[in-house]
A = this chain, B = another copy of it.
Amino acid sequence: MDRIRRRIADIVAEFFASKAGPLARPLREATEGGKMFRPVLCAVGWHAVGGPPADDPALHLGASLELFHSFLLIHDDICDNADTRRGRPALHQALEAQYPGAGTGLAVVAGDLLACWHQELADRAPLAADQRLRTRGVLAGMRHEVVEGQYRELALTRQGPVEDLDEILAVARAKSGNYSVTWPLVLGATLATADPAAPAALHRFAVPLGEAFQLRDDLLGVFSEPEVSGKPVGDDLRDGKPTALLALAWRTADPDQRRVLRAHVGRQDATAAEIAECRAVLTALGVPDHVETMIDERYRLAVEALERSPVAGPARTTLHDLAAQLAYRDN
């Protein structure tokens, strides 16, 4: 894994070294320091279905996902009006400090350039013509689903309390589970083999796992200790993000509990004490346990799909470990 991560970082660094102009440095800095989660999963997908040991195509195409992800984060931070990203000022804030009044516009355009560079890096990946053709639809599907998911989440956030758990899970799949887990694995597998059964098997494994990953994210965003997760706890509540946690809570809360949630959820200036009140409501309603059960179910579905799949040997072990890691991580 470390070898893979280093190789991907090298490809990204080499790409940025080929770029000049006013945006080369800020976009490189915005991209560096990511976990390279999706590129690594692309390589995992390649190896899982028996892709050859020389995994250059998977690493190059995977590296292009890191640029795409960094582009998404730049625009996400604009949409969420976030102040920081990876411990530094968010790009629109940094640009606002430099060009007062134009930070948002400049960051929109900077993100656009990074999206173009994602495509350029994908185009430069050393693929055979048939690999190119096969993976094109996967990339298009991924981009469409995640960007539309982001749109649906933003629109949903404006609607006030959302009780529709199915709609929330659908948006979470689009924005997070499928984007972060399913598409990268399927991309690597599609690249490695012309046999459509292989990516289809990974797809059956990845979709429930992606949901478990997202549900864990929701739990950690509200209930983890900040010193463990590294994230400011409660921001999902302050943002009024439509999560499964909140949908479950709205469905069963009594009038007093509703009053607490209404008073604090979606308020950027909610205090730590007010967030703790909301947490207490969720706990009293049994929401964390309910979500843990949902994660268990999805983890089990993923493992069953893996066991019915043709993936065998060390690749199966890798995916098994991955499933446990994503579903039961504590940060």
Contact = CB atoms under 8 A, between A and B. Distances in A.
Interface string A83-120: 00000000000000001111011101111110111011
A148 B23 contact: yes
Interface in A136-183: 136, 140, 143-144, 147-148, 150-152, 154-155, 157-158
Nearest to A99: B158
Q: How many chain copies does the complex carry?
A: 2
A110 to B, nearest CB: 6
A197 interface: no
A113 B75 contact: no
Contacts of A255: none
A244 to B, nearest CB: 21
A155 B106 contact: yes
Contacts of A152: 22
Contact of A116 (B75, B110, B111, B147): B147
A52 interface: no
B23 A113 contact: no
A113 B21 CA distance: 25
8 tightest A-B CB contacts, nearest first: A79-B105, A116-B143, A99-B158, A113-B147, A120-B140, A109-B151, A112-B147, A109-B150
Interface of A: 21-23, 75, 78-80, 99-102, 104-106, 108-113, 115-117, 119-120, 123, 129, 136, 140, 143-144, 147-148, 150-152, 154-155, 157-158
